Amino acid sequence: MNIIDIEHIAKIYQVGTEEVHALQDVSLRIDKNEYVAIMGPSGSGKSTLMNMLGCLDTPTSGKYLFKSENVSQMSDNDLATIRNREIGFVFQTFNLLPRSDALHNVELPLIYAGMSYLDRKERAEQALADVGLSDRMHHKPNELSGGQRQRVAIARALVTKPSIILADEPTGNLDSKTGEEIMQLFHEIHAKGNTIILVTHEEYIAEHALRIIRLKDGLIENDEVVSKRYTPNGNIAAE
Ligand SMILES: Nc1ncnc2c1ncn2[C@@H]1O[C@H](COP(=O)(O)OP(=O)(O)O)[C@@H](O)[C@H]1O
Ligand SMILES: [Mg+2]
């Protein structure tokens, strides 16, 4: 099933009298359970595309269908509803509430969704267990390591059972060993049937994905299935 269907989208930013063509003409389909990395040099349009995919912004022209629903001209309110229900975000800087413990951080999207106290507690505890943090539920972000903080953020992204996980440089603030552990966690999440879209400028991070889309000057330069890929235990396997 197609989750994302983008047809000829462009995004133009008006800066004074100058027009910046951040995305020129991008068409793209992403199916359920794909694992896609979006790569490209600085200024190529990665963040702009990420904002479109994540329903944080709408294109200047072109069409974006999310699960067959046209989101390209939706109001900010309707976009927010789609985001809360359908998209799990993971950021480079974790973006956790500093005064709340891990459990409350993970519960938060369920509070917004209006879930009852007991249901959301159970769901949040399960999500934290799924990322290996059962013994850290009542730790605040500053009582956790960087890798653990990112695991909390991943649990928060997964707790609503979203249609896609959007991760923007998720290992950017982690040392390489911890980064690898987080990438292994993404493998497990993907193996459970989730759809993952990862933005990175690191080749070795992108190679964890099964498909790499390369942007240049607001256009897709290359879109291909990765032949070399990692197995869930971290070895490289041939296709
Ligand atoms: N809010 C904005 N206003 C004006 N120009 C922008 C804005 N955001 C991005 N741009 C421009 O759009 C182009 C693509 O930017 P971006 O999507 O951030 O690229 P990347 O994430 O690949 O570095 C760049 O030339 C950038 O300067
Ligand atoms: Mg960027």
Strand order in the sheet with 219-225: 87-91, 164-168, 196-199, 35-39, 211-216, 219-225
**pLDDT score at 228:** 62
**How many CA atoms within 13 Å lie on the side-chain side of 95?**
14
Asked whether residue 10 is assigned to any structural domain, the reply reads: no
**pLDDT score at 144:** 98
Asked whether residue 24 is assigned to any structural domain, the reply reads: no
CA nearest 211: which of 191, 193, 195, 227? 227
| Mutation to probe ligand 1, out of 18, 44, 48, 217 (largest number of atoms < 8 A from CB) | 48
166 Cα: distance to centroid of ligand 2 (angstroms): 14
Q: How confident is the model at residue 233 (pLDDT cuts 50, 70, 90)?
A: low
Asked whether residue 25 is assigned to any structural domain, the reply reads: no
Q: How confident is the model at residue 238 (pLDDT cuts 50, 70, 90)?
A: very low
Number of domains in the chain: 1
| Ligand that comes closest to the CA of residue 40 | 1
What CATH number does residue 87 fall under? 3.40.50.300
Q: Closest ligand 1 atom to the C-alpha of 51?
A: 17
Q: How confident is the model at residue 239 (pLDDT cuts 50, 70, 90)?
A: very low
Does the CB atom of residue 48 touch ligand 1 within 6 A? yes
Q: Give percent above pLDDT 90 in the chain.
A: 92
**pLDDT score at 18:** 96
Q: Give percent above pLDDT 70 in the chain.
A: 95
What are 47-92's pLDDT values in tens digits? 999 999 999 999 999 999 999 999 998 999 999 999 999 999 999 9
172 Cα: distance to centroid of ligand 2 (angstroms): 12
Q: Does 237 have pLDDT greater than 80? A: no
Does the CB atom of residue 13 touch ligand 1 within 6 A? yes
Asked whether residue 213 is assigned to any structural domain, the reply reads: yes
Asked whether residue 64 is assigned to any structural domain, the reply reads: no
- Bridge pairing between strands 61-66 and 69-70: antiparallel
Structural domain including 179 reads 31-58+75-238
Asked whether residue 124 is assigned to any structural domain, the reply reads: yes
Residue nearest to ligand 1 atom 17, measured at CA = 45
Asked whether residue 16 is assigned to any structural domain, the reply reads: no
Residue nearest to ligand 1 atom 24, measured at CA = 43
What are 36-58's pLDDT values in tens digits? 999 999 999 999 999 999 999 99
Does the CB atom of residue 19 touch ligand 1 within 6 A? no
Does the CB atom of residue 46 touch ligand 1 within 6 A? yes
pLDDT, mean of residues 178-204? 96
Residue nearest to ligand 1 atom 1, measured at CA = 13
| Ligand that comes closest to the CA of residue 41 | 1
pLDDT, mean of residues 171-176? 95
Residues whose CB falls within 8 Å of the CB of residue 9, separated by 6 or more in sequence, listed in order: 23, 25, 26, 27, 52, 59, 61, 62, 63, 64, 72
Q: In terms of pLDDT, which residue wins out, 90 or 235?
A: 90
State the chain's mean pLDDT as an integer.
94
> Residue 211's beta-bridge partner residues?
36, 225
What are 105-124's pLDDT values in tens digits? 999 999 988 999 999 999 99
Residue nearest to ligand 1 atom 16, measured at CA = 45
Asked whether residue 146 is assigned to any structural domain, the reply reads: yes
pLDDT, mean of residues 211-226? 96
pTM, rounded to two decimals = 0.92
